[in-house]
Structure formats: C-alpha cells, structure tokens
C-alpha cells in the first residue's frame, strides 16, 4: 500500500502513474510531479498524531506536520460506539491504542474522496467498517472487504447519521450527531460546506484550491436537505468551526451564495 504525498489517500499497488484524485480539476498535482510515500517513510520522518478536544466526546486528530491535505479528523464517541470521521493519511500503534481506549470505533467515514486518507488501514487496525458513498466509489484507490457502500442517509449509531448532499463531489456527505454540542446538535461537514474564517458564514465550492463555484440550484438543494436537520454547531475539517447558530448561518450563507451567482449584486463589481 502506498500513499499519495499530496492528498494522503491510500492506493493499492501497482499505483497509477498519477493520483486520479489530484489530477482532477478539484485538486492539483505538484509542479515537480507525482510522489508516493508510505506509513513507514512517514514514521521514519518523525510524523506523529496530535489530539485536541473539539467538545465533550468529540476529539480532533491530526498530524504534527501536515500529511497530504492535512485535515483534522473527528472522533465522535457515543454510548453505543464511535465514528472516525475524515481519517488522517497516517496512523501508528500509539494512535490506534489511544482510539481503542475510548468506546469501540464501529465505522470510519469520509466526507468526500479528498478525505479518504488511509481509511482502510484505520479500519483494519480498529476492526471497523469503511463507509463510502456509492456515488464516490469510483474514487477508491484501495479496495477491501471492510468497505461498505451507502447512499442517501445511513444510520451508524442511534442519533448519529450520514447524509449525502452532494455538491463538492456527487457523494459529498455530512455527519449529524443529534446529541452533540450539549444536545443542541452537531454537524460535521468536512468541506461539503466550509465554515469560513469570519466564523459567521459557510462556503460552497466544487473546488477550494482552484476556486470553482457551485451553481445556485445545487447550493439551494444542499441547504434544503440540511435544513431538515437540527444542529447548532458546525465543525469543518481544518479546525474551522461555527460555534452556534449553525442552522441560521447555513441558511443565510446559502442565500448569499445564490444571490451572488445569480447576479443580484453585479452592480457592486
């Protein structure tokens, strides 16, 4: 198993000449070309996992030095078991042992293919299943018997569900935990929707590095689907958070996006 050094997604060997996820218009291949790495190489380079409490029973997991895109995974702990969301592109024995100290991890899931990381490796180490949206199955670089395809809505545990809303990728998803944020509801979005630096709005893009927007119709669809959920807090995949008022922030941000791409504010440009 090798790992793309740019996006940190795992691939079966022989690997493709170029990582398909990075060659896609939503990502990028480095100027000096494709490079592959491995868990052994990363460990020998001193890579270590870092931990931070996002909120009660939710822990952010990243790496001391960014691996690939450098997302912060979220471990959601419930009385019925745990979910590892947007898994890092690295793991080690200490990290696995620390996860096992909490309730059993029943599933590993990513918001979209950029966040696949070494999901199969995590699932094997944790004796969990890998949940992949069927619409994004073609982006899998590594196959395994632990992979389970799903679509629409999938309940992982009581009160903890995945919802496929599309947009960034056809299978782009969010994880909704009804008991999160002190019972007010928590939405883990990856960058299916992206909590912005102003901490008062979220963004919707097909490509974040290449700045490709989504249409008004797609953003309206996403907002309508998520409008059916109850949540107060939104957590993205890079430590970006909407601390409260998440439902209103999402609604207002969608309306703003739709108005701009529709041309309502062209007179200001």
pLDDT exceeds cutoff 90 at 223:
yes
Look at phi and psi of residue 95 and say left if phi exceeds 0, alpha if psi is from -120 to 50, else beta.
alpha
Instruction: Give 167-193 pLDDT, tens digit per residue.
Output: 999 999 999 999 999 999 999 999 999
Residue 102 pLDDT: 78
For residue 2, what are its two tokens? Answer: 């090798």
Strand-pairing partners, residue 73, are 61
- Domain boundaries 2-268, CATH class: alpha beta
Q: What's CA 84's distance to the chain center, in Å?
A: 10
DSSP-derived 3-state class of residue 155: strand
Burial class (CB in 10 A: 0-12, 13-18, 19+), 94: exposed
Give the per-residue pLDDT at 65. 87
Band of residue 157 on the pLDDT scale cut at 50, 70, 90: very high
> Which position has the token pair 């960034």?
168
Q: What is the pLDDT of residue 215?
A: 98
Q: How far apart are CA 212 and CA 242, in angstroms?
A: 23
Distance of alpha carbon 215 from the chain centroid: 21
Percent of the chain residues topping a pLDDT of 70: 100
In angstroms, what CA-CA distances link 101 with 26, 96, 97, 98, 104? 37, 9, 6, 5, 8
In the prediction, which pLDDT does 191 show? 92
Between 64 and 84, where is the model more confident? Answer: 84
- Is pLDDT of 262 > 90? yes
Buried b (16+ CB within 10 A) or exposed e, 36-46: ebebeebeeee
Buried b (16+ CB within 10 A) or exposed e, 129-156: bbbbbebbeebbbbeeebbeebeeebeb
Give residue-wise pLDDT tens across range 4-29.
999 999 999 999 999 999 999 999 99
- Read off the pLDDT of each residue in 202-217 and give the average, rounded to a whole number: 97
Q: Is the pLDDT of residue 38 over 90?
A: yes
At residue 146, φ and ψ (nearest 5 deg) are -80, -15
- Mean pLDDT computed over 38-50: 96
Closest of 1, 231, 225 to residue 116, by C-alpha:
1
Please tell me the predicted confidence (pLDDT) of residue 101.
85
């Amino acid at each position: 198993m090798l790992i793309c050094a740019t996006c940190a997604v795992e691939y079966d060997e022989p690997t493709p000449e170029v990582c398909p996820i990075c060659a896609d218009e939503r990502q990028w291949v480095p100027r000096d070309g494709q490079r592959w790495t491995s868990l052994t190489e990363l460990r020998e380079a001193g890579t270590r996992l870092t931990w931070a409490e996002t909120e009660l029973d939710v822990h952010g997991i990243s790496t001391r030095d960014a691996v690939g895109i450098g997302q912060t995974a979220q471990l959601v702990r419930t009385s019925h078991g745990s979910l590892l969301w947007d898994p890092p592109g690295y793991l080690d024995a200490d990290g696995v042992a620390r996860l096992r100290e909490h309730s059993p991890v029943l599933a590993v899931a990513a918001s979209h293919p950029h966040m696949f990381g070494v999901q199969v490796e995590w699932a094997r180490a944790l004796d969990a299943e890998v949940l992949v949206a069927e619409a994004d199955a073609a982006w899998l670089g590594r196959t395994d018997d632990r992979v389970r395809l799903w679509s629409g809505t999938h309940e992982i545990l009581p009160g903890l569900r995945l919802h496929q809303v599309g947009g960034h990728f056809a299978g782009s998803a969010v994880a909704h935990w009804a008991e999160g944020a002190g019972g007010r509801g928590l939405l883990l979005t990856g960058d299916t929707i992206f909590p912005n630096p102003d901490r008062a709005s979220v963004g919707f893009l097909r490509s974040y590095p290449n700045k490709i927007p989504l249409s008004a119709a797609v953003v309206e669809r996403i907002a309508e689907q998520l409008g059916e959920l109850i949540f107060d807090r939104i957590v993205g995949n890079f430590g970006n958070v909407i601390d409260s008022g998440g439902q209103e922030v999402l609604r207002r941000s969608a309306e703003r996006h739709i108005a701009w791409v529709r041309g309502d504010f062209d007179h200001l440009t």
